[in-house]
Amino acid sequence: MQLGQQAKDSAQQLALMPTNRKNELLIQMAKTIKKNQQAIIEANHKDLEKAVENNISETMQDRLQLTPERINAMAAEIEKIASLDDPIGKVDEMWTNTDGLRIGKKRVPLGVIGIIYESRPNVTTDAASL
């Protein structure tokens, strides 16, 4: 319950954060993943051992396996997200109604609504980045 509340509080803080700060955090996340690559691979090796013990198919094991190349690709995707134009706060349409009231459509953060998680570790970083 406490972890859920912390996630909710963090999401609210992120929603109000300026683009440059969000991008700094994303770049830091990518750097941290690269820096901790060996520890990530070691933890993944333990996961793969459990997968073998539980008779998980070789195809699934391949999906679960992290290599330096896959970890670097995960970090690169985070960096790519940081380089994208931030749509938050943009006004797509603006008009004035007959009473003189200005009405517009402004983009606001919704957060992650759902994820299709097919046991690929990169989905975790993709979801966290978005």
What confidence tens digit (pLDDT) does each residue in 54-107 have? Answer: 999 999 999 999 999 999 999 999 999 999 999 999 999 999 999 999 999 999
The mean pLDDT value for 5-30 works out to 89
Q: Tell me: pLDDT of 12 over 90.
A: no
Q: What is the mean pLDDT of residues 46-54?
A: 96
Asked if residue 102 is part of any domain, the answer here is: no
Domain of 21?
2-86+120-129
Please, are residues 104 and 91 in contact by the beta-carbon 8 Å criterion? yes
Residue 31 placed within a domain? yes
- Position 76 in a domain: yes
Which strand (E) or helix (H) includes residue 48? Answer: helix 37-53
Number of domains in the chain: 1
Tell me whether residue 37 is in a domain.
yes
- Asked if the structure places residue 27 within a domain, the reply is yes
pLDDT at 127: 83
pLDDT of residue 1: 78
- The distance of Cα 55 from the centroid of its chain, to the nearest Å, equals 30
Task: Please say whether the beta carbons of 81 and 69 come within 8 A.
Answer: no
Q: What is the pLDDT of residue 10?
A: 81
CB 116 within 8 A of CB 128: no
Q: How deeply is 30 buried, as exposed, middle or buried, from its count of CB atoms within 10 A (0-12, 13-18, 19+)?
A: buried
| Single pTM value for the model | 0.81
For 61-121, give the DSSP string.
HHHH---HHHHHHHHHHHHHHHHS---TT-EEEEEE-TTS-EEEEE------------S-T
Query: Which residues are within 8 A (CB) of 29 and not within 5 positions of it... i.e. 6 or more apart?
Result: 78, 125, 128, 129
112 found inside a domain: no
Domain annotation covers residue 46: yes
If pLDDT is split at 50, 70 and 90, which confidence band does 123 have? confident
Specify if 43 maps to a domain: yes
| For residue 3, pLDDT beyond 90 | no
